[in-house]
Amino acid sequence: MSKIIRVKFKKEGDMIYISHLDLQRLLQRAFRRAEINLSHSQGFNPHPKMSYGNALALGTESQGEYVDIEIEDDLLVDEFLDKVSVQLPEGIEFIKAKEIDRQTPSLSSVIDYGEYLFNIDLKRPLTKEFVKRKVIDFMNNKEIIITKKNKKGKLVEVDIRPMIRTFDVLNLEDEHITLTATIATGSKTNLNTNILIPKMLEMFELDIDPLEVDILRRDLYVLEDGELVTPM
């Protein structure tokens, strides 16, 4: 009888530059080397039964990624973690795991929000008063309109304000600012960090390439009765 194990893992260091597809291949190889038998789908092109939370953008570090893995082996969760962990490369770390039942909804269907840190090197110091005022003004906006291409390639206006649950300053030094935000990161609604970062830089009047902002995803969340809870 197969079982499903939900794993929380980190993606750090050089591993932030591998794509979601490469990550899938990397994990499958690790399971093979660990001699863990994955369950496979039926049909013409069988593939391992593994499902992920919201895919991480290339170049983004994460301390809170999730994957559901169906295995054929009758392993305890601790045994599973011990066997796999030694086969993982530096930069990918399985933090914890638990067995879930088949009625548990898929990760992609339940995850609503992601918590992010944005680290920005400043070319000029910002005062605490200036930063605080900008954050308050930003969150007091009734709407924040951006222009983006839809799936048909047409330019459309989108209000991203409802997709931002929290936004604040975590740390401010002369040459560095760390911002934190909890934003929509699900299959129903998703605010891409590539859209949010230019808005943040514009807000603080910073002439910085958005690609120079370091992004860390701290965790993913499910919204339950108005509260954010992790999928574990």
Q: What is the pLDDT of residues 205-218, one digit of tens each?
A: 999 999 999 999 99
pLDDT digits (tens, 9 = 90+) for 37-71: 999 888 888 888 999 988 898 999 999 999 999 99
Half-sphere exposure of 45 (CA within 13 A, CB side): 0
Domain end marker among 70, 87, 108? 108
How many domains does the chain fold into? 2
Q: Are 148 and 100 in a shared domain? A: no
pLDDT value at 220 more than 90 = yes
User: What's the pLDDT at 127?
Assistant: 92
Q: Are 117 and 163 in a shared domain? A: yes
Element (H, E) at 5: strand 3-11
* CATH number for the domain harbouring residue 177: 3.30.70.3190
Taking residues 173-191, report their average pLDDT: 92
Q: Are 115 and 20 in a shared domain? A: no
Q: Are 178 and 95 in a shared domain? A: no
* CATH number for the domain harbouring residue 15: 3.30.70.580
pLDDT classification of 94: cutoffs 50, 70, 90? very high
Element (H, E) at 172: strand 164-173
